[in-house]
Amino acid sequence: MIKKKVIVIFLIYFASLKLAISSENEIYKKIDLFGEVLEKINKEYVDEIDQSESMDSAINGLLQSLDPYSAYMSPEIFNEMQTETSGEFGGLGIEVSMESGVVKVISPIDDTPASRAGIKAGDYIVKINDTQVQGKTLSEAVDLMRGPVGSGIELTIRRRGEKKAITFNIVREVIQIQSVKAELLEKNIGYVRLTAFNENSGEQIKKKIKELEKNKDVKAYILDLRNNPGGLLSQAIKISDYFLNNGEIVSTKSRKASENRKWFAKKGDLTNGKKLIVLINYGSASASEIVAGALKDHKRAILLGENSFGKGSVQSIIPLKNEGAIRLTIAKYYLPSGKSISEVGVSPDIEIGEESDDFQIKTETDNQLNYAIKLLNG
């Protein structure tokens, strides 16, 4: 009987080993096939090709087949990305992703050329100057949008609800990211505007709230996360914690169960539990949704505005030997309620859309902010 069990175990092990070797051989066959295809293209294609660019495109194609947010960054793009997260870079001032072969605007950044021109979250960029975006990688499209400060660029946009394409002529600028702005509204409401989650955002918000708290007339706060495309997860956790005394903020689940994590708030609400309204819209994505979702689930804030973007995944920047990097989705995050926001977003408690075509955040046309002020002072 024991002998039979040993034979069965051996056969199972042998079959598994054979399957693994077969799978590995299949992968090597595919690699050989790729090399053969590249060689044929190099020899037979009608025009001479840049093999280095072709390889970059192939790598990027592999990553973008996984999801819209994974991508390859050449050494040049990786260097530019590092400049962006530190707070200053050149360009138009938009956060973008790739969807269905065209560039989708996640969010325009406040007070940048794109924002002032009227680019909106959810717009699809179909043409950059005279170049069609279809068929380009995200990195290639971003490269086309970059250029010398002061130079012009023409973007052709497709927008939901509009039958015809819209053309925007924009002048490139050095983009200064001031992620936190704060002021006193109506003499009794602390208004905090957060436009990105970069490495300094948490400390900046903490400083601004402490300054506002010195005013004894402040009875409530508005946290404005509209058109905030996200950023660093660590900052989203830190900022959520500023408004909570306890409870789960967010959890991440990855391929490896051992790497699943949960983050919890520590005692110490910086606003001492004052009324809080969080403004969100379709341009609120990723880290913005973590903050909004956590505060909503704990009934700490009223969410007002429009449904958020729905980017519920975590990307990691993994450096490569060539000094480039890959941006790879490594986990999905979940709100304290256990809900995932991927493709769904966070819904507001009070839904209010933009009422005018010339709507601009923090101006007389900002009906969402005006409603929030009336609600708090009502």
Active-site pick, 56, 224, 297, 366: 297
Angle, in degrees to the nearest 10, between helices 138-145 and 51-64: 110
Active-site pick, 286, 288, 308, 313: 286
| Residue 331 CA: distances (Å) to CA of 251, 259, 276, 315 | 10, 9, 30, 7
Write the DSSP symbol of residue 338: S
| Residue 301 CA: distances (Å) to CA of 230, 273, 298, 362 | 19, 10, 8, 20
Residue given tokens 């341009």 in the structure block: 283
Give burial (CB, 10 Å; 0-12/13-18/19+) of 278: buried
Long-range interactions of 180-187: CB distance < 8 A, separation 24+:
180/204, 180/205, 180/208, 182/208, 182/209, 182/211, 182/212, 184/212, 184/215, 184/218, 185/222, 185/373, 186/373, 186/377, 187/217
| Residue 35 CA: distances (Å) to CA of 42, 50, 57, 87, 135 | 11, 15, 14, 41, 22
Q: Is residue 241 annotated as a catalytic residue, yes or no? A: no
| Residue 270 CA: distances (Å) to CA of 83, 178, 210 | 31, 22, 7
For 374, the token pair is 């009336």
Q: Is residue 297 annotated as a catalytic residue, yes or no? A: yes
Q: Is residue 340 annotated as a catalytic residue, yes or no? A: no
DSSP letters for 242-302: TT-SSSEEEEEEESSGGG-EEEE--S--TTTT-EEEEEE-TT--THHHHHHHHHHHTT-SE
Give me the active site residues, please: 286, 297, 311
